[in-house]
Structure 1
């Protein structure tokens, strides 16, 4: 087979890889992208998008179920609903399919050559790809590694049978009666909450002292409250030891050192993700590492000339939008533009119920960096829009320097606060001060008013509390 020669080769068509290839194509760079499975990567196919579809379906089902139980203060009553999870999964798969086709269409529009198959390095400029029609060799001037990440497997709970990862959880044919979630981070709680709303009896096992250990207690408290309302049992400072002899329960060690068996139809293991470094010839490259991740500089360059790395394989935060931003930057660098990674913040969202969104520094992080800070916090219980939506739990919080009022961080917990993430990130990227946010006219009635009120509170003149 004839070799393919190009200026840029992108390995992996996840969010970082396909954005990099599209932008490079737009800039006239001769680009080839290789993908072993489906365009869109983990995020589109088995992560962000399908999980949010399942979460939405679960929310809608729970709303109707409450109305059927006569619990709606809105005066709405309906017949008892039924859930056909197979139909829900088919709807989710339809969305994924549309987006997958859309990505392929955008790549073709940008004149990017798509090679389907598994790539393996021969050297820093050459890969061989196992395609359906045989081996394809590709040589490139520059290479971008965007191979992503995969779920971490516990030695005591290997995937298979009743033990599943988030991938299998998103395609279950029926709602499990008893679901045990190992790992109380954002993936475990997002999916655990969804299944609880769909009717599963859910137990969460977390080794740390609190669920969502990466967030402060004030942000986690409304989530914990809601889990209790949904009947989710949460066991903290507990360790999973393995399945029982008959495979029908998870054996754990509790905080007091005792063993306990938790009956489970399915055990969902969500203890983190690891970079996908095996199976594509990494041993053929002499790349510096930062732990398990590839080490990069502020232009996403690895230790090997002409080889870049973006996304989850480069470390935390493992977020699709970080990978996208890195991919766009690298494409422009390869095209000859001057770019460097100088982001002030990368917003992060936890799609629990209620949602959590953070950008920049938390109060503790700001203090640890030596800042003298002031904090403004506004509760949604004083927000008119939240009241009309029967979702008053949570708040918006702003962290700013005392001397200059420069905004260092923004956090919120509440229904739908993920949509505040762009305003939070923009404020920090633009170097906003408390006065800038407080003087910006916010539409009424919206949840976004909480941002303005939090800034006013930090300045000492909140209007609605």
Structure 2
């Protein structure tokens, strides 16, 4: 067994394993080091199993509205253990699929914890093996794809205890559904867990330090989401900073400036920190800024032969961004610089209703000095949405008024996380308003709202 490779990838999440596959396709002898599970946090404890939970919540909640479709049932209930079991089964299936892909592409999987030491032409990788002992691996290029973890704030008690104070990891495998829940942080992770537990009947309160929920989204979408979530029974505290989180005899208490809230459980969702510790980066002199490895436009660090991709290299902290960066990085290494690292990256929140966006918000465009044309179209007048009974939400488009380029798109509503890709493709291809006007959208589909929102920006909307 050789210990010398062209490329060594550290971390087998969606960034790392996709990078390894592309490296192998390009003829590079590749190894991947993983300390826990193939698929990383995303497949095992993040993106995928949470969507399984959210689907269960969506189906269960829909049972309360079947009369609108002319259907009636007697009673409803759920088996929480089976809900969690299904989620874990989905994660296990996909992790096994990654193992198959590694074998198919002849990528050597090294199970253990990696540490970097000085070497040439790239740092040496010393792996403390899961099975015991160690291996010293060398390569021409080493790519860090170690991801990130939930941020904790010990000073005010925002630290998981595995019992009453959870991060996303504990929130995915509890033994029972809590009757009451406080979620600290209203980004995608916090809102998704709030949405799931509310669907199963929990009393949910979300706390956000900024002045609106989903603060990275367009302001109109944030306001619409707030209203829609409140309609489902979720409660919010915005512009509210936590001064103390503590366990009580019956659960937890959260102290804010003007009040103290109590619940059975709290979920801490206040951001993430890159996994940069215990890798030997300090000794190598790797430049780190605010907990993330600093890279250039080809994903190189300041250390020869060392690259970084995905969450460990900074925001946006999204699995598809990590995969895209990894492909770009390894194609550059192989002398095939084809991937566009500056392609627009869509963001999605899988709550009920869903939220999706790509590009600049209206406010960000104006702050950058761009004169904009803005269009909107509500789903309440879309034929497919009416037929499906999914009337909430809208599509919003932002165009550069001078060039006609689509520079932003924002949606809230049923399955908009599937629809946003159409706008992402348009922006990648540098589409203008005329290109979107000339595109034929199938009828009846909810995607017709995308066409109408584009037309509306130029006073040509047809159905309102």
Superposition TM-score, scaled by structure 2 size: 0.95
Instruction: Answer yes or no: is the 8 Å Cα contact 1:222–1:393 preserved in 2.
Output: no
Instruction: Answer yes or no: is the 8 Å Cα contact 1:184–1:205 preserved in 2.
Output: yes
**Within 2, Cα distance between the matches of 1:319 and 1:166?**
15
Instruction: Answer yes or no: is the 8 Å Cα contact 1:146–1:310 preserved in 2.
Output: yes
**Within 2, Cα distance between the matches of 1:461 and 1:258?**
49
**Within 2, Cα distance between the matches of 1:163 and 1:276?**
21
Query: How far apart are residue 444 of structure 1 and its match?
Result: 0.5
Instruction: Answer yes or no: is the 8 Å Cα contact 2:327–2:339 preserved in 1.
Output: no
Query: How far apart are residue 66 of structure 1 and its match?
Result: 3.8
Does residue 200 of the first structure (1) align with residue 199 of the second (2)?
Answer: no
Output one character per residue of 1:318-342: Cα deviation in whole Å (capped at 9) or x when no partner: 1100100111112222222234644
Task: State the secondary structure of the residue aligned to 1:424.
Answer: helix
Question: What is aligned with 1:130?
Answer: 128
Query: How far apart are residue 244 of structure 1 and its match?
Result: 5.0
Query: How far apart are residue 165 of structure 1 and its match?
Result: 0.5
Question: What is aligned with 1:18?
Answer: 17
Output one character per residue of 1:255-296: Cα deviation in whole Å (capped at 9) or x when no partner: xx3342x22221111011110111222223211223321111
Question: What is aligned with 2:422?
Answer: 423
Instruction: Answer yes or no: is the 8 Å Cα contact 1:401–1:408 preserved in 2.
Output: yes
Question: What is aligned with 2:40?
Answer: 41
Does residue 105 of the first structure (1) align with residue 100 of the second (2)?
Answer: yes
Output one character per residue of 1:39-58: Cα deviation in whole Å (capped at 9) or x when no partner: 11111110000111100000
**Within 2, Cα distance between the matches of 1:65 and 1:5?**
59
**Within 1, Cα distance between the matches of 2:254 and 2:219?**
28
1:361-380 to 2 correspondence within 5 Å? 361-380=360-379
Instruction: Answer yes or no: is the 8 Å Cα contact 1:298–1:341 preserved in 2.
Output: no
Does residue 119 of the first structure (1) align with residue 79 of the second (2)?
Answer: no
Output one character per residue of 1:219-264: Cα deviation in whole Å (capped at 9) or x when no partner: 02232122222221111122221215536231321xxx3342x222
Output one character per residue of 1:177-197: Cα deviation in whole Å (capped at 9) or x when no partner: 111111111111111111011
Instruction: Answer yes or no: is the 8 Å Cα contact 2:218–2:362 preserved in 1.
Output: no
Question: What is aligned with 2:236?
Answer: 234
Task: State the secondary structure of the residue aligned to 2:69.
Answer: coil
Task: State the secondary structure of the residue aligned to 1:95.
Answer: helix
Runs of 5+ unmatched residues, structure 2? none
Question: What is aligned with 2:89?
Answer: 94
Q: 2:212 aligns with which of 203, 210, 213?
A: 210
Question: What is aligned with 1:282?
Answer: 281
Instruction: Answer yes or no: is the 8 Å Cα contact 1:343–1:429 preserved in 2.
Output: no
**Within 1, Cα distance between the matches of 2:250 and 2:134?**
43
Question: What is aligned with 2:457?
Answer: 458
**Within 2, Cα distance between the matches of 1:99 and 1:311?**
20
**Within 2, Cα distance between the matches of 1:32 and 1:183?**
37
**Within 1, Cα distance between the matches of 2:109 and 2:341?**
31
Question: What is aligned with 2:227?
Answer: 225
**Within 1, Cα distance between the matches of 2:194 and 2:245?**
19
Query: How far apart are residue 394 of structure 1 and its match?
Result: 1.1
Question: What is aligned with 2:160?
Answer: 159
Superposition TM-score, scaled by structure 1 size: 0.95
Which shifted more, 244-253 or 372-381? 244-253
RMSD: 1.5
Question: What is aligned with 2:311?
Answer: 312
1:48-447 to 2 correspondence within 5 Å? 48-67=47-66, 72-123=67-118, 124-131=122-129, 132-155=131-154, 156-160=157-161, 161-240=163-242, 241-246=244-249, 248-253=251-256, 257-260=257-260, 262-339=261-338, 341-447=340-446
Corresponding pairs, count: 456
